[in-house]
Amino acid sequence: MFADLQARLAAVSAPEVERALAAHRVGIDGLIALLSPAADAMLAAMAERSAAITRQRFGSTMQLFAPIYLSNLCQNRCLYCGFSADNRIERRVLTIEQAEDEAAILHDRGFSHILLVAGEAPNRLGVDYLEALALRLRDKFAAVSMEVQPLSTGEYARLFKAGITGVAVYQETYDRGIYASLHPPGPKRDFDFRLATPARAAEAGMREVGIGALLGLADWRAEGVALALHLAGLRQHFWQTAFTVSFPRLRPAVGGFTALAPVSERDLAQLLFAMRLFDHDIGLLLSTREEARFRDGMLGLGPTRYSAGSCTAPGGYGNPALPGEQFAVGDHRSMDEVSAMIRQQGFDPVRKDWDPSFQLAVAQSRQVV
Amino acid sequence: MIHFISTFFRCGNRGLRHNGRHNGRRHQGISNTEYRMMNMKIICNGAKIAVEDELSLAMFLRGKGLDPDTVAVACDGAILARETYADLRLREGMVLEVVRFVGGGASC
Amino acid sequence: MLTIAGRTFTSRLIVGTGKFASSAVMQAAIEASGTGMVTVALRRVDLNDPGDDLMAVLDRRQYVFLPNTSGARNAAEAVRLAHLARASGAGDWVKLEVTPDPRTLLPDPVETLKATEALVKDGFIVLPYMNADPILAQHLQAAGAAAIMPLGSLIGTNQGLLTRFQLEIIIEQARVPVVVDAGLGAPSHAAQAMEMGADAVLVNTAIAVAGDPVRMARAFAAAVQAGRDAFESGLGVTAPVAAASSPQSGLGFLR
pLDDT for position B16: 35
Q: Is the model more confident about C238 or about A292?
A: A292
A324 band by pLDDT with thresholds 50, 70 and 90:
confident
Counting CB pairs under 8 A, whether chains B and C reach 3 or more, is yes
Answer yes or no: are the C-beta atoms of A244 and A210 closer than 8 Å: yes
pLDDT at B39 over 50: yes
Instruction: Closest CB to C46: pick one of B11, B49, B103.
Output: B11
Q: Backbone phi, then psi, for A285, in 5-degree steps?
A: -110, 140
CB of C253 less than 8 A from some CB of A: yes
Instruction: Closest CB to A43: pick one of C138, C243, C251.
Output: C251
Coil vs helix vs strand at C220: helix
Closest residue by Cα to residue A178 from A214, A230, A225, A151: A214
Q: Do C55 and B101 touch (CB under 8 A)?
A: yes
How far A45 CA sits from the closest chain C CA (Å)? Answer: 6
How far C3 CA sits from the closest chain A CA (Å)? Answer: 19
pLDDT at B107 over 50: no
Span C188-227, pLDDT tens digits: 999 999 999 999 999 999 999 999 999 999 999 999 999 9
Q: Do C240 and A49 touch (CB under 8 A)?
A: no
pLDDT for position B12: 32
Contact list in B for residue C155 (CB cut-off 8 A) is 106-108
Name the neighbours of A, counting chains with at least 3 Cβ pairs within 8 A: C
Q: Do B103 and C205 touch (CB under 8 A)?
A: no
Q: Given its phi and psi angles, is residue C99 left (phi above 0), alpha (psi -120 to 50 degrees) or beta?
A: beta
- Inter-chain contacts counted by CB atoms under 8 A, chains B and C: 177
B15 band by pLDDT with thresholds 50, 70 and 90:
very low
pLDDT at A167 over 80: yes
CATH number belonging to domain B32-100: 3.10.20.30
pLDDT at B7 over 70: no
CB of C25 less than 8 A from some CB of B: no
Q: Where are the domains of chain C?
A: 2-233
* Interface confidence: ipTM more than 0.85: no
Answer yes or no: are the C-beta atoms of C251 and A43 closer than 8 Å: yes
CATH number belonging to domain C2-233: 3.20.20.70
pLDDT for position C182: 92
Assess whether C114 carries a catalytic annotation.
Answer: no
CA B84 to chain centre: 16
Q: Do C16 and B107 touch (CB under 8 A)?
A: yes
Mean pLDDT, rounded, for A338-346: 94
A323 band by pLDDT with thresholds 50, 70 and 90:
confident
Listed in order, strand segments (DSSP E) in chain B are 40-44, 47-51, 71-75, 78-79, 95-103
pLDDT at B25 over 60: no
Topology (CATH level 3) of domain A64-365: TIM Barrel (3.20.20)
B6 band by pLDDT with thresholds 50, 70 and 90:
very low
Q: Where are the domains of chain A?
A: 64-365
pLDDT for position B33: 53
Please give the C-alpha separations between residue B100 and each of A228, B6, B83, C46, C89, in angstroms, as whole numbers.
50, 22, 17, 10, 9
**What is the pTM assigned to this prediction?**
0.79
Question: What is the average pLDDT score of chain A?
Answer: 92
Contact list in B for residue C205 (CB cut-off 8 A) is 108
Contact list in B for residue C41 (CB cut-off 8 A) is 13, 15-16, 101-105
Q: What percent of chain C has pLDDT over 70?
A: 94
Mean pLDDT, rounded, for A143-171: 96
pLDDT for position A24: 83
Integer Cα distance of B42 and B55 in angstroms: 11
- Which of A143-147, C28-32, C55-59, C156-160 is least confident? C55-59
Coil vs helix vs strand at A168: strand
How far C205 CA sits from the closest chain B CA (Å)? Answer: 5
Span C31-61, pLDDT tens digits: 999 999 999 998 888 887 777 777 778 888 8
Q: Where are the domains of chain B?
A: 32-100
Contact list in B for residue C46 (CB cut-off 8 A) is 9-11, 45
pLDDT for position A266: 95
Span B72-91, pLDDT tens digits: 999 988 999 888 999 999 98
- Comparing alpha-carbon positions, the chain A residue that sits nearest to C139 is A239
Q: Which residues 30-69 on chain C approach chain B with CB closer than 8 angstroms? A: 39-56, 65, 67-68
Contact list in C for residue A239 (CB cut-off 8 A) is 138, 173
pLDDT at C102 over 90: no
Span A226-274, pLDDT tens digits: 999 999 999 999 999 999 999 999 876 677 788 889 999 999 999 999 9
pLDDT at A326 over 80: no
